[in-house]
Amino acid sequence: MSLNVRPMRYEDLDRVCRMEEENFSMPWKREDFEKLIEDAGSRYFVAEIDGYVIGAAGYTDMVGDGYINNVVIDKEYRGKGYSKKLMEAVIESGKETGIYDYTLEVRVSNLPAIRLYEAVGFENAGVRKGFYDQPKEDAYVYWLRIPRRN
Ligand SMILES: CC(C)(COP(=O)(O)OP(=O)(O)OC[C@H]1O[C@@H](n2cnc3c(N)ncnc32)[C@H](O)[C@@H]1OP(=O)(O)O)[C@@H](O)C(=O)NCCC(=O)NCCS
């Protein structure tokens, strides 16, 4: 079983929306994901095993920085390191568009996500108080800055 990471397509939207609803208390809607396909400044990827989508992640170009969007791995496929491979592929793809700096927020209680982000090189840059709703919670702000090669 090997993991394949590729850009999200319209036919993935049902599956991606389902994962979103199962894993986030304030899930993005279908239109939000459609925008990620259509917006030239966004890249969003799915991870699949034998053609079955088991995860998703991507970024939006925010004036030269990559803002990481909605990282998710289906519950049944967690604990296998797939999210790390997915995030590494996302970050690698950014180099094609000149993105070397990434930022994200994560709930302070979300240890699996924090471990993942730190494993791919993100560093904690502080706290945004009360950033999240449902439930109300602080966010850690993380940054990854990849050295540029000329
Ligand atoms: C975050 C998420 C994508 C990680 O996916 P995953 O493929 O299971 O990640 P991994 O198996 O690589 O585990 C990541 C790390 O968290 C650790 N971990 C897993 N569950 C944990 C827990 N309950 N407490 C502490 N650490 C935990 C793992 O041991 C691993 O750390 P390691 O590499 O140092 O061993 C997945 O948990 C998920 O989809 N969560 C719901 C959506 C979400 O919260 N997304 C992030 C929003 S910011």
Burial of 142 (0-12, 13-18, 19+ CB in 10 A): buried
Ligand 1 geometric centre to CA of 116 (Å): 6
Atom of ligand 1 nearest to the CA of 57: 3
Ordered structural domains, the chain, with CATH: 3-145 (3.40.630.30)
Long-range contacts of 66-70 (CB under 8 A, 24+ apart): 66/91, 66/94, 66/99, 66/101, 66/102, 66/103, 67/102, 67/103, 67/104, 68/102, 68/103, 68/104, 69/36, 69/42, 69/44, 70/20, 70/24, 70/28
- Ligand 1 binding pocket includes 21 (Cβ within 6 Å): no
CA-110 nearest atom, ligand 1: 44
Ligand 1 centre to CA of 62 (Å) is 26
pTM of the model: 0.94
Ligand 1 proximity of 3 Cβ (cutoff 6 Å): no
Alpha carbon of 72 to ligand 1 centroid (Å): 9
Residue whose CA lies nearest to ligand 1 atom number 1:
113
pLDDT (0 to 100) of residue 108: 98
* Residue 43, burial from CB neighbour count under 10 angstroms (0-12, 13-18, 19+): buried
Per-residue pLDDT of the chain (150 residues), as tens digits, is 799 999 999 999 999 999 999 999 999 999 999 999 999 999 999 999 999 999 999 999 999 999 999 999 999 999 999 999 999 999 999 999 999 999 999 999 999 999 999 999 999 999 999 999 999 999 999 999 999 876
Q: In the sheet that 52-62 helps form, which strands lie side by side, from edge to edge?
A: 3-7, 42-49, 52-62, 65-73, 101-107, 137-145, 123-132
Q: Residue 74: name the closest of 130, 125, 116, 16 by CA.
A: 16
